[in-house]
Amino acid sequence: MADFSLDHFIDGAFHPSLSGRRFDDPEPARGRVLASVARGAADDVDRAVQAAQEAGRGWALTPVAERSRWLSRIADGIEARFEEFAAAEARDTGKPLSLCRAVDIPRAVANFRFFAGAVLHDELGCHPMEGALNYTLRRPVGVFGLISPWNLPIYLLSWKVAPALATGNTVVCKPSEVTPLSAGLLADVVREIGLPPGVFNLVHGFGPEAGQRLVEHPDVPGISFTGGTATGKIVGATASAQFKKLSLELGGKNASIVFADCDLEATIEGVARAGFANQGQICLCGSRVLVERPLLERFTEGLAAWARARVIGDPLDPATTFGSLVSLAHRDKVEGYVALAKEEGGRIVAGGRRPEDPALGEGAFFEPTVVADLPPGCRTATEEIFGPVITVHPFDTEEEAVALANAVRYGLAGSVWTQNLGRAHRVAANVESGMIWVNCWLLRDLRVPFGGMKDSGVGREGGRHSLDFYSELRNVCVKL
């Protein structure tokens, strides 16, 4: 028997699927069923979109200050159930509870608080010209479809819900079928605080059944999608054919570029964290480590020592520093890439296998893995693995480092580690990626543009970029 039962949240109340169908959501660290979940299909999505549409007019007319207060109440509601959210996220994803407490749940709260403030401090353009005056109005788009992945479930869903509601849209969320639990809790917070029915709706289910209908629904003029590049291509083709507002946050294969003049200890720690945070399951993870040749051996050994020192264990155990992967299927995929790395000539310097500890039972655990000696253009070094596997490659010049960083189809993020300020700025400007960190990683200010180039996506979110994406900006030109 599952510990949780999740239903869709439509028009202010929980409902099972119209078909009555359900699916099991497993707990990856324990290999057992965690939740029984309503399996949404087109008819459930249609119902949710209708509720969102009906609520849309009232919500769009709700004064900005009042919408802002609703967002703050959602943040308060999450905070009041902080431990429940953290435990649910840890059990559903396999990530350590300590990480959920330090990052995932505080960030969900921060997303609501940030956009509650941002929308109040919004400033729009005024362009006087000879004989006329232009000014800009911000208007909601309508019903937004928000589709999110499994790696940072509530962190990323709230990053979409908060700005969409702040700017006067109503939403239909479709969280990942792999990790639906925290989205269900968010719906319960929305119910508890009494947000007007239909403003926030949630349909659980699989991508091709529920997600696809949301993307193709004629009454959903905006889609914000975060997920894999292959899925993004399908979502993009469908949404673009109807000229929807569209944001695509997709995959990555990010370089961490290490120069020999770096602060060695801090860089090993920073690059290892960039590679292995959340078991390597963050789109921003630096999974290709490029090291200036004189430092290669020492640095590789430093990364390997860091990896070996992780405490792999039950996500709920406070001593655990490295949890399980999100599912057995994903662990198999990662394991397949390690086998490929060996075929491609890689040397496993750390990890490379499932841990042998019998206490870990049937969980989806895999050791943090460092691979050396691979050619930088091979599949292991250029395809997104999205797991705890990093490859290390030498370079001899700054130009070569930049060329290697850019020699992948992705362009999401990266990091540069050096004490040479001029070089840091040059490399940051030349690496083809939406975001680049210097001597740090994942230091986030919610105002800055977030998003990728190349196969990593289209558009930017964050701060005013989110406010603009979730709005129709209208120019009014008045002849004087």
Among 386, 395, 417, 437, binds ligand NAD (CB under 6 A): 386
Long-range contacts of 353-362 (CB under 8 A, 24+ apart): 355/312, 357/312, 357/313, 359/313, 359/314, 360/29, 360/312, 360/313, 360/314, 360/324, 361/30, 361/31, 362/30, 362/31, 362/328
Nearer to ligand NAD, 67 or 253 (CB): 253
Where do the DSSP E strands lie in 45-152?
126-129, 132-140, 143-147
To the nearest whole angstrom, how small is the minimum distance from the Cβ of residue 412 to ligand NAD? 6
Lay out the site mask for ligand NAD across 435-474 (x = CB under 6 A, - = otherwise).
Answer: -----------------x----x-----------------
Nearer to ligand NAD, 227 or 363 (CB): 227
Q: Does 215 bind ligand NAD (CB under 6 A)?
A: yes
Q: Name the region of 221 (left: φ>0; alpha: ψ -120 to 50; beta: rest).
A: alpha
Among 71, 235, 304, 374, binds ligand NAD (CB under 6 A): 235
Lay out the site mask for ligand NAD across 400-419 (x = CB under 6 A, - = otherwise).
Answer: ------------x-------
Is 79 an active-site residue? Answer: no
Number of residues that bind ligand NAD (CB under 6 A): 31
| Candidates 68-76, 98-106, 172-180, 472-480; binding stretch for ligand NAD (CB under 6 A) | 172-180
To the nearest whole angstrom, how small is the minimum distance from the Cβ of residue 261 to ligand NAD? 31
CA distances from 183 to 291, 334, 449 (A): 40, 26, 25
**How far apart are the C-alpha atoms of 399 and 427, rounded to whole Å?**
9
| Candidates 121-129, 246-254, 339-347, 375-383; binding stretch for ligand NAD (CB under 6 A) | 246-254
Under a CB-based contact definition with an 8 Å cutoff, are residues 217 and 38 in contact? no
Among 87, 110, 234, 316, binds ligand NAD (CB under 6 A): 234
Under a CB-based contact definition with an 8 Å cutoff, are residues 363 and 131 in contact? no
To the nearest whole angstrom, how small is the minimum distance from the Cβ of residue 237 to ligand NAD? 10
The active-site residue, picked from 216, 283, 335, 398, is 283
Under a CB-based contact definition with an 8 Å cutoff, are residues 184 and 205 in contact? no
15, burial (CB in 10 Å: exposed 0-12, middle 13-18, buried 19+): middle
Classified as helix, coil or strand, 236 is helix
Where do the DSSP E strands lie in 175-221?
200-202
CA distances from 351 to 92, 267, 383, 388 (A): 24, 20, 19, 9
Q: In this chain, which residue has its C-beta nearest to ligand NAD?
A: 207
Is 27 an active-site residue? Answer: no
CB atoms within 10 A of CB 283: 25
To the nearest whole angstrom, how small is the minimum distance from the Cβ of residue 174 to ligand NAD? 6
In one-letter notation, the amino acid at residue 62 is: T
Nearer to ligand NAD, 90 or 385 (CB): 385
E strand or H helix that includes residue 224: strand 222-226
CB atoms within 10 A of CB 99: 22
Q: Does 158 bind ligand NAD (CB under 6 A)?
A: no
To the nearest whole angstrom, how small is the minimum distance from the Cβ of residue 382 to ligand NAD? 14
Q: Does 176 bind ligand NAD (CB under 6 A)?
A: yes
Nearer to ligand NAD, 283 or 401 (CB): 283
Among 171, 250, 360, 467, binds ligand NAD (CB under 6 A): 250
Active-site positions read: 249, 283
Residues that bind ligand NAD (CB under 6 A): 147-151, 156, 174, 176-177, 206-208, 211-212, 215, 226-228, 231, 234-235, 249-252, 283, 384, 386, 412, 452, 457
